Each structure stands twice: as structure tokens, then as C-alpha cells.
Amino acid sequence: MNLVVFLPGEDCTRLVRGDRRYAHLVSVLRVRRGDVVRVGVLGGRMGEGRVEEVGRDEVRLSCRFDRDPPPPLPLVLLVAAVRPIVGRRLLRDLAALGVERVVVFPARLSERSYLESTLWKGGEWERCLVEGAEQGVTTRVPEVVRVRSLEEGVGVCGEGVRYVCDEAVGEGGRVARAGRYVVAVGPERGWTEEERRVLAEEGFVRLSLGPRMLRAEVACHVAVGRVAEGAGWWG
């Protein structure tokens, strides 16, 4: 936890025993009175929190929120639904990386039940995004949209230069400089020819992530890195 994230309207002056943020400050960071930690409000500003008191049942803070979070990457990922355990990791990582939006769809070769898993119930997916924001030191999290088909997913992605990551391409390919991107990442079993046809008709250009078959979350990480390099976001 590199950033203590508070929810909008939450009391930012105290963290109580039983709160995982309290446990992290006390047991991991071992904060003492006078220490300063990074703080932020989800969807809002960031700043610093000074530790005023460390007690058995609570940590008291005085917080100053005086700066904006880094802007999101102008990138939408259209991602095939994955197993819940993978989805948790992936949402955390994409929030830490700062992508703008994640659109999750059921690919022909992925399990449709993944979209009805426990990940999407009881707010678990939202907690994963917050944990990713804590890791990436940001208060912005991606907008996450679940759809019922690839075609519907393409329709909600919006404008941008469009790429589909496809092992069938082989090696090579360059990412053009643009203001916004939409990148489709398929299931680990790959795209069907019908899905390739749909994406091609919607203006998606094939992009290689190398000659090997990658796990879904690894493919997403590599895709973000390829676009970031081509766009010049990270120097």
C-alpha cells in the first residue's frame, strides 16, 4: 500500500483497529507520531497525512489534499473474461497502470460463467480497483464495463486507434502516435476466425505481442507497455 485511499465522504482523520489500512500503517509501515504518509480520496485529490497519534485502537491523522492525481492513460482495454482469480489480479494491475477504461466481454473460447463469478458480486471488483490505486499511487481508477458480446463491447469502447493483440500475426508491427487507443486482448485459447472478422470490420489492426502464447494478464501488461512505448507516454 503506497497510498492510503479514503472513500468520498469518509472521515480522513482516523483509521480504526480492524481496518486493513490501520493494520498496514501499524504492522507494516510501523508509523510513529510525526511520520508522514501519502493519502488520497478516491476520485479526488492526493496529498500527505501526518500521523498525530498511534493508539491501540486507532491511528489519528491530519491530512492535506493539495494535488491532483496523475491523468489516466487514454487507453481502453477490451478484454476477454478470465477466471476470477486472474480477474482480481488483472483489475488491480490495470488500476495501478492507470488505464482509462476496461471493457470485459465473453469471448467464443472463454467460459461465459466468468462474467457471473463471485468477482462481480458484493463489490469485490471495486475493492480490487482501489487496491490497484493504492499500489500505483493514484486516486483515479478505470471505468469497468461488462458486456454480453464482443460486438457490444466494441460499441462501448469509443473512438481511438484500434489494435487487436493476436498471436497469429507473428512478430513485428508498430504502434502509431495517437491521442487515444482501443486495444483488444482475447482469451488464452485465442481468437476465432469469426471474432477476427468482426474486429477487422470495426477497424482493429492486428498487433503482435511476440511469438509466444501468453497468459491473459501477461498479455494485457505487454499490450499496455507496447502502446505506452509507441505513444511516448513514458519517455
Residues 48, 161: one domain?
no
pLDDT, residue 151, reads 97
pLDDT of residue 26: 96
Between β-strands 58-67 and 46-54, what pairing exists: parallel, antiparallel or unpaired? Answer: antiparallel
β 99-105/73-80 pair status: parallel
162 burial (CB, 10 Å; 0-12 / 13-18 / 19+) is: buried
> For residue range 81-113, what is the model confidence (pLDDT) as tens digits?
999 999 999 999 999 999 999 999 999 988 888
Closest CA to 165 of 124, 221, 102, 119: 221
Domain span holding position 190 = 73-231
**Residue 41 sits in the same domain as residue 119:** no
Residues 48, 134, single domain; the answer is no
Q: What is the pLDDT of residue 170?
A: 52
Predicted confidence at residue 43, as pLDDT, reads 96
Do 146 and 51 lie in one domain? The reply is no
Contact 154, 199 (CB under 8 A): yes
* pLDDT at residue 168, as a whole number: 62
Give the separation between CA 147 and CA 105, rounded to whole angstroms: 5
Partner residues linked to 165 by β-bridges? 185, 207
d(CA 180, CA 182) in angstroms, rounded, equals 7
| CA nearest neighbour of 209 among 170, 157, 181 | 170
The grid cell for 106 is: 465473453
The CA distances from residue 141 to 70, 116, 125, 133, in Å, are 11, 22, 11, 6
Divide the 235 residues of the chain into consecutive groups of 10 and give the mean pLDDT of each group.
96 96 96 97 97 96 97 97 94 97 94 88 94 97 96 96 80 81 93 95 91 88 94 86
Q: What is the CATH number of the domain that holds 52?
A: 2.40.240.20
The reply to whether 225 and 150 lie within a common domain is yes
Identity at 165, one-letter amino acid code: C
- Indicate the pTM of the whole model: 0.92
Looking at the structure of the chain, the number of domains it has is 2
C-alpha cell recorded at residue 40: 488520497
Instruction: Identify whether residues 136 and 60 lie together within a single domain.
Output: no
Same domain membership, residue 89 and residue 32: no
